[in-house]
Amino acid sequence: MIKILSIGMLGLFLGWLTLYVQYAILHAKRARNMFKCAACGNELTPRVVIPRLFPFYKHKICMRCHTVITKEVALLPVVSMIVLFVLNAYFKNLYQALLILILLQNFYLIIYFDIKYAIIPNVVIFSLVGVIMFHALFNLGQVSSLIISHMTGVLIAMTFSVVTFLIGKFVFKADHVLGMGDIKLMVLLGWLYGLVGISILLNSALVLGAIYGVTQMKKSRSIEIPFGPFLVCGAMLCMFTGQALIF
């Protein structure tokens, strides 16, 4: 009973934290500890940007233009909680379930920001690095036995970035082939998935991206495709078809 309760609380909390990161990035302002309303530019106190932990359904609005700042429909925290229960039942290991949940939440942020603003926020990259470092510190033996696999994964990701960049630059004469965020993400995924995983991941991302690109090409000549969501789709595909992370 206590275990079920704490898993529920953890899931809710992590979902709420993800919501907060999402709003904080949306309203980020470079000044210290201040945020700006994305609609009118009014300065917001951090308190307004932090989503309510309870009740979830009450929105916080900008005092000047009344735009909704944090939209709480309880969806993300509740979905996180359900996903954590499912993962925990599947792996029978809360630690592993938590790691996968945090990965999925980072994937959610990548999809949201890359589609909407064509960026992969650095916060997400830091968070992924954090997960990897945390895991490495507490499972040193496991990591060192897999180090070759980790390193080859990273190497594949880097080679892929360089080749894609060169092809884009010299064959297609494009300026923006891959963003820095895409490259960082690929390298991290290379570490997480290893040689075999990252190869499958990159190939499926390419295929998905190409299919999407062709459908968009009919609408307009010049298109910019955010690559992040396809990388995430590839990563999820690997995760759910048995190409496990090499955690």
Give contact residues for Zn ion (rule: CB under 5 A).
37, 39-40, 42, 62, 64-65, 67
* Residue with smaller CB distance to Zn ion, 48 or 125: 48
List the structure tokens of 130: 């954090």
Report in angstroms how near the CB of residue 98 gets to Zn ion at its nearest.
36
CB-based contact 245:193 (threshold 8 Å): yes
Burial of 118 (0-12, 13-18, 19+ CB in 10 A): middle
Report in angstroms how near the CB of residue 147 gets to Zn ion at its nearest.
50
Report in angstroms how near the CB of residue 72 gets to Zn ion at its nearest.
18
Give the CA radius of gyration of the chain: 20
Report in angstroms how near the CB of residue 40 gets to Zn ion at its nearest.
3
* Residue with smaller CB distance to Zn ion, 28 or 195: 28
* Residue with smaller CB distance to Zn ion, 41 or 213: 41
Report in angstroms how near the CB of residue 114 gets to Zn ion at its nearest.
25
* Residue with smaller CB distance to Zn ion, 4 or 40: 40
* Residue with smaller CB distance to Zn ion, 19 or 62: 62
CB-based contact 30:18 (threshold 8 Å): no
